[in-house]
A and B are shown apart, each in its own frame.
Chain A
Amino acid sequence: MSFTQAIIEALESLNGNKMRSGLTVLGIVIGVAAVIAMLAVGNGAQASITGSISSIGTNLLFVFSGSPNQEGPPGSGGRSGNNERPLTLGDANALLDQFAAPSVEMVAPAIQGNGLLNFSSEKTNTSISGVTPEYYQVRNLELAEGEFINQEHILGRMSVTVLGPETAIALFGHADGVVGETIRIEGQPFRIIGVLVARGGGAFGSEDNAAYIPFTTAQARLIKRGSRDQVDVIFVQATTAEAVPSAVEEVSSIIRQRHRTPVGLDDFTVFTQQDFLSIFSQITGVLTIFLGGIAGISLLVGGIGIMNIMLVSVTERTKEIGLRKALGARKRDILLQFLTESSLLSLIGGIIGIIFGWVIARIVEQVATATGNNFIPIVGWDAVLLSTGFSAAIGLFFGIYPASRAANLEPVEALRYE
């Protein structure tokens, strides 16, 4: 029997039991749709996160205090927490040494905290960063209006602030035309000198929801730290993206020298944007596999549904199988007939499932957009091919047992079956 013949006959047979075929297909549809949608969400999350990390700028380094591989609580082992020195303004300035650190373009120390902002009765809680004018360039910021913090503000410890657009909207209901207004941060009056351009959700909380104030002002009045010149993070801009690895080396050796820490026992951590990228792609990769795996289980359940139905169908059609054998059907004819049916079931389910999964992904996108998240689930060709192949394989795999049972029926027994 030819292959097209087998397909036509299988379609006839499936058509003969629409309700049952439909329900069986539904199992596969749900499985495939879940796989497609989950992988799309996972890929979308990955793209969104890596995209926002990339938007920070590719030649950015972060220096934090604290060891990258802290083991045990401070005081335990050979290294005491007391020996850890915080990062200071001195450290930041030392990085500007053209000879010791030729790969460093610009340095922006910052201290960060959270605080309550209010304008008349509107309140919002947001992150507050004490920054220097360099921060603007190092972090690749863009102003929608007004100006950024300048040297004059730093020297005068002035009470001025630059707001992220979300923060501005939270306080005023709009982001434009708020320059010149005075708001209160932790009860103290600050004049708004600029508003940033919206950038979308970031990897470390939204940068749109933030307030930037002069470093010296923050240090003196808002964010108290142990010593006067302590900083929380130093942002370093390398001269080029290619210079990032050498910049890491230079920054590390300068701070190591200043903190007098032996190699391998650093009390600070240098992160590059690449490090963040790989960490987050690892996390979202695990997330994607996890989601896909759960969805895969439902596909497996759909496959077992196919096997179940095919077994019922074989039993029900025992007499038909006997007759076909009496008329000259060989084992492989019967095998082909039932395998074609189960494969068609899962293939049809797969195709509908892909469409369905794509629709779900679009719905997730709509919901994300409606709630203000810039998140686009990505239905990749790999996911489509994967789930089509997987569902066809499931149809074949779970079809083999019922089909071989049918093929191996004894014609005499099968014909006698009522």
Chain B
Amino acid sequence: MDWVIEARSLTKTYVMGEIEVQALRDVSFDVTRGEVVAIMGPSGSGKSTMMNTLGCLDRPTSGEYILDGESVAQMNDDQLASVRNRKIGFVFQSFNLLSRLTALGNVELPLRYAGLTQGRRERAQKALEAVGLADRMTHRPYELSGGQQQRVAVARALVNNPAIIMADEPTGNLDSKVGKEIMNLLLSLNKELGTTLVIVTHDQKIAEQAQRIIRLKDGELDVIEKGNGGSA
């Protein structure tokens, strides 16, 4: 199989004062390329920690994590930054766009940190066209609706052609109709581009659109269910 995520015995321990909190305990699973996976669990289940670890924002205390063929568990901060830049696109619940920049400027940001000096504008334009915002490129975030802002965020996530898109409650700040649109956008991009999609959510309806649902409970892997999404 072509694994894009290989997680082996991931464990994350936080030390808060004198108490050790085990946010993740010995979690192992794989994700194949092009798959849509949902990570679910009640609050405190280690969902966010899982998301941070898979997104290379944080290192596991122990365990092995191979992302698109690169072992990232032991990398230093700058190496992680580079992996995030090349292999991961983030979509956050609260959009996280920079208000000073236009839609185009926001989408260009990952390209800037990739060290690209030429062709940035064109690639950012293409990404915005792909999410259906060809006519909103020079708008600033406050001139856009919530759904449009999230579309900009999706364009920003895919502009670097990442191996996976990590979506953290992507519809959490949107009403159900717009939320559905964003989900459809993410799923259609997954189909067209073959980008692996990992969605962290507590919304059963969203999760069911994935091919597999990974359920966490008390930091441990509870169960992996099959969702209603098409086969990988």
Interface residues of A (CB under 8 A from B): 1-2, 5, 12-13, 16, 319-320, 323-333, 410-412, 415
Which segment, of B62-70, B111-119, B174-182, B200-208, faces chain A? B111-119
Tell whether, in the assembled complex, residue A328 and residue B57 are in contact, meaning their CB atoms are under 8 Å apart: no
* Distance between Cα atoms of A323 and B55 in the complex (Å): 12
Tell whether, in the assembled complex, residue B98 and residue A5 are in contact, meaning their CB atoms are under 8 Å apart: no
Q: CB-CB contacts of B207-220 with A at 8 A, as 1s and 0s?
A: 00000000000000
Residues of A within 8 A of B156 (CB): 327
Q: Is B81 an interface residue (CB 8 A)?
A: yes
Of B57, B98, B113, B160, the contact of A333 (CB 8 Å cutoff): B113
13 contacts between A and B (CB under 8 A): A1-B113, A324-B109, A325-B81, A326-B55, A327-B84, A328-B82, A328-B113, A328-B160, A329-B81, A330-B113, A332-B78, A411-B57, A412-B58
* Distance between Cα atoms of A412 and B51 in the complex (Å): 10
Tell whether, in the assembled complex, residue B112 and residue A5 are in contact, meaning their CB atoms are under 8 Å apart: yes
* Distance between Cα atoms of A12 and B113 in the complex (Å): 17
* Distance between Cα atoms of A13 and B101 in the complex (Å): 10
Tell whether, in the assembled complex, residue B98 and residue A328 are in contact, meaning their CB atoms are under 8 Å apart: no
* Distance between Cα atoms of A330 and B86 in the complex (Å): 13
Query: For A1, A5, A326, which residue has the most chain B Cβ atoms within 10 angstroms?
Result: A326
CB nearest neighbor in B for A327 = B110
* Distance between Cα atoms of A414 and B33 in the complex (Å): 30
Q: A327-B84, A328-B110, A330-B113 are in contact. List 18 more A-B contacts (CB 8 A).
A: A1-B113, A1-B115, A327-B85, A327-B90, A327-B110, A327-B113, A327-B156, A328-B85, A328-B160, A329-B81, A329-B113, A330-B81, A331-B77, A331-B78, A332-B78, A412-B52, A412-B58, A415-B96
* Distance between Cα atoms of A325 and B57 in the complex (Å): 8
Task: List B residues 71-127 near A (Cβ within 8 Å).
Answer: 77-78, 81-82, 84-86, 90, 92, 96, 98, 100-101, 109-110, 112-115, 117
Tell whether, in the assembled complex, residue B78 and residue A326 are in contact, meaning their CB atoms are under 8 Å apart: no
Tell whether, in the assembled complex, residue A328 and residue B100 are in contact, meaning their CB atoms are under 8 Å apart: no
* Known contacts A328-B81, A330-B78, A412-B58; is-contact A16 B100 (Cβ 8 Å): yes
* Known contacts A323-B96, A323-B98, A412-B52; is-contact A328 B114 (Cβ 8 Å): yes
CB nearest neighbor in A for B90 = A326
Q: What's the nearest-Cβ distance from chain B to residue A413, in Å?
A: 10
* Distance between Cα atoms of A327 and B85 in the complex (Å): 5
How big is the B interface, by class? Answer: 20 to 34
Residues of A within 8 A of B82 (CB): 328, 330
* Distance between Cα atoms of A326 and B162 in the complex (Å): 13
Closest 3 CB pairs of A and B: A328-B85, A328-B113, A330-B81
* Distance between Cα atoms of A339 and B77 in the complex (Å): 20
Q: What's the nearest-Cβ distance from chain A to residue B46, in Å?
A: 14
Residues of B within 8 A of A412 (CB): 52, 57-58
SS class, residues of chain A in contact with chain B: helix
CB nearest neighbor in A for B82 = A328
Q: What's the nearest-Cβ distance from chain A to residue B132, in Å?
A: 22
Residues of A within 8 A of B117 (CB): 2
Tell whether, in the assembled complex, residue B98 and residue A326 are in contact, meaning their CB atoms are under 8 Å apart: no
Query: For B81, B86, B117, which residue has the most chain A Cβ atoms within 10 angstroms?
Result: B81
Q: What's the nearest-Cβ distance from chain B to residue A59, in Å?
A: 68
CB nearest neighbor in B for A408 = B77
Q: What's the nearest-Cβ distance from chain A to residue B102, in Å?
A: 11
Of A320, A325, A415, the contact of B98 (CB 8 Å cutoff): A320
Tell whether, in the assembled complex, residue B84 and residue A328 are in contact, meaning their CB atoms are under 8 Å apart: yes
Q: What's the nearest-Cβ distance from chain B to residue A151, in Å?
A: 87
Q: CB-CB contacts of B1-44 with A at 8 A, as 1s and 0s?
A: 00000000000000000000000000000000000000000000
Residues of B within 8 A of A16 (CB): 100
Residues of B within 8 A of A333 (CB): 113
* Known contacts A323-B96, A323-B98, A412-B52; is-contact A328 B86 (Cβ 8 Å): yes
Residues of B within 8 A of A329 (CB): 81, 113
* Distance between Cα atoms of A325 and B86 in the complex (Å): 13
Residues of A within 8 A of B77 (CB): 330-331
* Distance between Cα atoms of A14 and B78 in the complex (Å): 27
* Distance between Cα atoms of A2 and B116 in the complex (Å): 9
* Distance between Cα atoms of A5 and B112 in the complex (Å): 9
* Distance between Cα atoms of A13 and B99 in the complex (Å): 10
CB nearest neighbor in B for A319 = B96
* Distance between Cα atoms of A412 and B98 in the complex (Å): 18
Tell whether, in the assembled complex, residue A327 and residue B100 are in contact, meaning their CB atoms are under 8 Å apart: no
Query: For A1, A325, A327, which residue has the most chain B Cβ atoms within 10 angstroms?
Result: A327
Residues of B within 8 A of A325 (CB): 57, 81, 84
Of B78, B101, B109, B115, the contact of A327 (CB 8 Å cutoff): B109
Q: What's the nearest-Cβ distance from chain B to residue A130, in Å?
A: 80
* Distance between Cα atoms of A1 and B81 in the complex (Å): 14
* Distance between Cα atoms of A383 and B125 in the complex (Å): 49
Tell whether, in the assembled complex, residue B84 and residue A326 are in contact, meaning their CB atoms are under 8 Å apart: yes
Residues of B within 8 A of A326 (CB): 55, 57, 84, 90
* Distance between Cα atoms of A16 and B142 in the complex (Å): 14
Residues of A within 8 A of B57 (CB): 325-326, 411-412, 415
Query: For B52, B98, B101, B110, which residue has the most chain A Cβ atoms within 10 angstroms?
Result: B98
